[in-house]
Amino acid sequence: MEKIPESKVLIRFPDCDPFNHLNNSRYIDYFINTREDHLWQHYQLNIYAYGRQHGKSWVVGQNQIAYLKPAMLMETVVIQSTVLELTDTDILVEMLMWDKDKTQLKSVLWSRFVHFNLATQKRDTHSKELMDYFTPLINPLSERLDFEERVGQLRSRSGRSNGS
């Protein structure tokens, strides 16, 4: 299974500010919508059907986002997503937004998704089946980094790739 799926997305007018930049709050919408598409298109996981069937789903427990370069009105961007960590109750997903050529990094998002029991309204553990399903998708970083260190690492790589 593909560990870093990606999609091309067009930045739309209603999502932009008066300067034709993607509004800060909309970055998260673009990332989350794209991740949902990746789950379905690449892994055939429909989180809504799973929630109805099992009474459990995932909620966002934490977001960390860095805005590096503006995404502009009617620009096509590439969004990648990958699972950095999996625990018995959480999944940490890294999402990157690039220009269409993947030479300029625009934004980085780390979202921690918590497995959540809809009946009890509490955190719940992943089943063995879910752990077995997600384990092959884990794409850990080569070294232990916090979010700020990771953003710095990605910035330096992006700068080298586009000649900045």
Instruction: Give the pLDDT confidence of 49-78 residue by residue, as tens digits.
Output: 999 999 999 999 999 999 999 999 999 999
Please report whether residue 1 resides in a domain: no
Can you give the residue range of the structural domain that contains 78?
Answer: 6-161
Given this model, what pLDDT does residue 46 score? 95
Counted domains in the chain = 1
The CATH number for 34's domain is 3.10.129.10
Please report whether residue 13 resides in a domain: yes
Helices (H), 11-146: 24-43, 47-54, 128-134
Dihedral, CA atoms, 102, 104, 82, 151, nearest 10 degrees?
160
Residue 123 phi, psi dihedral angles, 5° rounding: -55, 145
Given this model, what pLDDT does residue 94 score? 98
3-state class of 164 per DSSP?
coil
Please report whether residue 21 resides in a domain: yes
Q: Can you tell me the distance from the alpha carbon of 29 to that of 64, in angstroms, rounded to the nearest whole number?
A: 14
pTM of the predicted model as reported, rounded to 2 decimal places: 0.93
Q: Can you tell me the distance from the alpha carbon of 29 to that of 74, in angstroms, rounded to the nearest whole number?
A: 16
Please report whether residue 45 resides in a domain: yes
